[in-house]
Amino acid sequence: MRRITFVLSWIVAAGLSTGTPLDAQLPVAAPPDVLINDIAASHPASAYIDQSTLLVAEIGWSKIDVDSFFALTAKLKGDYPSDTKVVKELFAKLRAANAGDVYVIAGLETLSDGVPLVVIPTAQPATLLQSMKDIFGDHMRVSPTGNAVLIGKQEQIERFKSITPVKRDDIVTPLRDANRLDHTAVVVLPDLTRELLSRIWPRTRPDGFPSTSSPSQMALDVKRLVVTFRTPPQSQIRLSIESVDEAAAERITKTFAAMKQMLGDQLDQITIKRDQLQVILDADQNAVELFYTAALNARREAAMASHVTTLRRLGIAIYTYENREKHLPPRCFVNPGGQPLHSWLVAILPDIDQVAFYRSIHLDKSWDDPANQQMMNTIPAGIGDNELPRGHTVIRAPVFPGSLWHGDGPPKTWKDVTDDPADTILLADAPPEASVHWADPSPWIISEADPMKDFFGKRDRVQVLMGDGSVRVLGRAEMSNEKLKAMLTIAGGD
């Protein structure tokens, strides 16, 4: 089911991809005849639009480069999706059936449906029907209707097949605009919807928000949103906001102008233009790249904050383990012959809310033994790193002469730590080349001759967990071999 949900959501989101067109724009097949005779009648989505329709998105899938899109996704999220093959398969089937642009339609009943309706015009509905069934299986209904294939829930499709289309130039006209870009979404907010939003949204302006209008007022001001965008190499995004009257248009214009001034460089490349009741924001390629950079920086900051939380959580787990077992976690589990089996992280799994997982592990067998296959497929929250091989972590226990993790004797206790805990390193982020699978007992050995080289690698900063549970960032410029040695040892008297 996750795969099906992914494909549906990807159809909507894919317009944010990068790359060059896959091939020329394919012809769009006409929908069934409808009982309206205006500009909307000839549009492929017109037969499925009625008075309750709130959104129609047009996705020019033939202009999307899948590899580039997922590369961008990985860059922004730090996680390369595993469904690239699924989407490529989908696009191949669309191409084989000579399918037109994909349309996503949502209305008042979409919340209860759980998914929007997907309309795929095609000159070969029978061919596309079987192809879509192969992808969606029994999870979603795939149904032919005229020169199109519908994808959605069974009741939803039956409802759309029986609707009486109505004239909705407010939705269809932007989808016929010759100046629109590769992908376009139209959101229309009826009076009742805007009134409802104004009642549930805050009536006061959020602190720090550069606007004199409250969210409640903004809900009343906006009548229609049209966003149209083009993928790189000539990236462009255009947002058109249609307001209810002149006063609303003025408020919206002032709000975005204030946001642009407050955010400075991040919005410097965006132009704001007012045309009667419409406020148009246009972002060119430079602006889009600034968005990507800002999003990437935000992801990195969020990842760093999350990593600090993980290190602190591990510190608490080590203290909890010591309080229960009366000794600190061993550097690794070993069998009677002294062969390492599991890392120190396995020992504290129960203390990071992984009791059931811990009980499923065969502690008498190696972490990579077939009997412990679940250890290869399960990664404790916060331990993994999306930029490393699956299951690998940089959170390591440094093994240095005199450190907490040095030696093969009995596990140590807090009594063995006679140096100031606030200046004693328990765990640290190893260089990426020193990462291992989180359950791998291989030691991270820090050389006595040049600990700075092993500890920092090519980096200038390293996050560490100290003996008092605090997390610090050590800078290479402020450290020396002698200072690092003092922080790695637990009873050096320094």
Stretch among 28-32, 167-171, 251-255, 300-304 having the lowest mean pLDDT: 28-32
- For 128-151, write each residue's pLDDT tens digit: 888 888 777 777 888 888 888 999
pLDDT at 147: 85
Q: Please name the amino acid found at residue 380.
A: P
3-state class of 228 per DSSP? Answer: strand
> Tokens for 163?
């609707």
How confident is residue 246, by pLDDT bands cut at 50, 70 and 90?
A: very high
Amino acid residing at 342: H
pLDDT band at 163 (very low <50, low <70, confident <90, very high): confident
H-state helical runs in 225-337: 246-263, 285-325
pLDDT for the residue numbered 285: 73
Over residues 429-444, the mean pLDDT reads: 93
Collapse the DSSP code of 412 into the 3-class scheme (helix H, G, I; strand E, B; otherwise coil) and give the result.
Answer: coil
What percentage of the chain has pLDDT greater than the value 90? 46
Over 70: is that where the pLDDT of 14 sits?
no
How much is the pLDDT for 81?
57
Helices 285-325 and 66-77: crossing angle in degrees, nearest 10, is 50
pLDDT in the model for residue 10? 46
| Higher pLDDT pick, 478 / 72 | 478
Query: In this predicted model, what pLDDT tens digit does every residue of 168-215 receive, in sequence order?
Result: 999 999 999 999 999 999 999 999 889 999 999 998 887 777 777 889
Domain at 189-283: CATH architecture: 2-Layer Sandwich (3.30)
For residue 148, give the nearest of 25, 46, 63 by alpha carbon.
Answer: 46
- 93-133 pLDDT per residue, tens: 898 888 999 999 999 888 888 899 999 999 888 888 888 88
Which of 242, 246, 256 is closest to 190 using CA atoms? 242
Confidence of residue 28 (pLDDT cuts 50, 70, 90): very low
Query: Could you give the CA distance from residue 346 to residue 45 in angstroms, rounded to a whole number?
Result: 55
pLDDT at residue 165 is higher than 90? no
pLDDT for the residue 74: 67
Per-residue pLDDT, averaged over 314-341, amounts to 91
The pLDDT-based confidence of 253 (bands split at 50, 70, 90) is very high
> What is the per-residue pLDDT for 15?
44
Mean local confidence (pLDDT), 366-393:
86
> For the chain, what is the radius of gyration of the CA atoms?
29
Contact 29, 100 (CB under 8 A): yes
| Tokens read off for 26 | 């394919």
Rounded average pLDDT over 369-381: 87
Segments of the chain assigned to CATH 3.30.1360: 189-283
Tens digit of pLDDT for each residue in 462-476?
999 999 999 999 999
Q: Is the pLDDT of residue 26 over 50?
A: no
- Give the residue-averaged pLDDT of 212-233: 88
What distance in Å separates the CA atoms of residue 481 and residue 316, rounded to the nearest whole number?
29
Backbone angles phi, psi at 405, to 5 degrees: -105, 10
Determine contact, residues 430/420, Cβ cutoff 8 Å. no
Average pLDDT of the chain, as a whole number: 84
Q: Once rounded to an integer, what is the mean pLDDT over residues 231-254?
A: 89
